[in-house]
Amino acid sequence: METDIKLEKRIVELIEKGETLRQGDEHEGAALDENHKQNCSGWIAAARSVTQFILPNPESLYRKHIEEVSSIERGWMINNSVGEITELLKHLLSDFKNGLLFSIVNQTRAEVFDDFLDHARAYLADGRKNEAGVIAGVVFEDTLRRICKNHKIEEAGKKLDFLITELAKEGVITGIMAKRGRACAHVRTKATHAQWDEFEVGDVEATIAFTDELILKKLDSEG
């Protein structure tokens, strides 16, 4: 999905910049000047931030190692820390490209989606059907597209009905699930275009329930 593409691009940018910043002077290998030292410090903060975003679990080995290296006070030898983290990012990028981090990303996405669905439920409880419909519809679409990506189904620029059909063809969802999915897609479309009279409270409830099911069965449990 677009988020993954941006993350991969950001890691590549950090690696390329890190390869430059890790280079020290010819004699002691230290930072060249104060500006170089400050740039190294900023780069380390950026690398740490990206790693924390990709790996929300503090116990992740990549994250722990990068945070350990970044916490070492090396003064004018700070460029050595940049070099170590750059090498870690290279391995992280390789795992990311090969799908070895999918389970981690999916788990994080599932938790975020659950939070949004809780907001939708709260809106429903407060009698705010329209707001609940908007949130539920967005989460449904994002969940569906994430599942497509995990199953190598091209989703960019494709309509929801097409994606639902493709998922059914691949056996990822059943025919009954496809029918429920199209009902959810209807809520997504109508809520997006502020056609509030085109869906009811029960439709929003069904969208939340089905999206919950997809998250549990197709995101939470899959790598």
User: Which CATH number do you get for residue 146?
Assistant: 1.20.120.330
The number of domains in the chain is 2
113 and 160, same domain (yes or no): yes
Instruction: Read off the pTM.
Output: 0.54
44 and 69, same domain (yes or no): yes
Q: Which residues neighbour 211 within 8 Å (Cβ) at sequence distance 6 or greater?
A: 113, 117, 136, 139, 140, 143, 184
93 and 126, same domain (yes or no): no
> If you search the block for the tokens 């869906």, which residue do you land on?
199
Q: Which helix (H) or strand (E) holds 71?
A: none
79 and 111, same domain (yes or no): no
Looking at residue 223, its pLDDT comes to: 43
Per-residue pLDDT of the chain (223 residues; tens, 9 = 90+): 555 677 788 999 999 999 999 999 988 899 999 999 999 999 999 999 988 887 877 878 888 999 999 999 999 999 999 999 999 999 988 877 776 555 545 554 555 556 778 888 998 899 999 999 999 998 899 889 888 988 889 888 899 999 999 999 999 999 999 999 999 999 999 998 999 999 999 999 999 999 989 988 877 655 4
135: nearest Cα among 167, 165, 168, 113: 113
109 and 75, same domain (yes or no): no
Q: Which residues neighbour 186 within 8 Å (Cβ) at sequence distance 6 or greater?
A: 198, 199, 203
58 and 6, same domain (yes or no): yes
Provide the sign of the torsion angle of the four alpha carbons 13, 15, 16, 19, taken in this order.
Answer: positive
Which residue range is the domain that position 130 belongs to?
Answer: 102-219
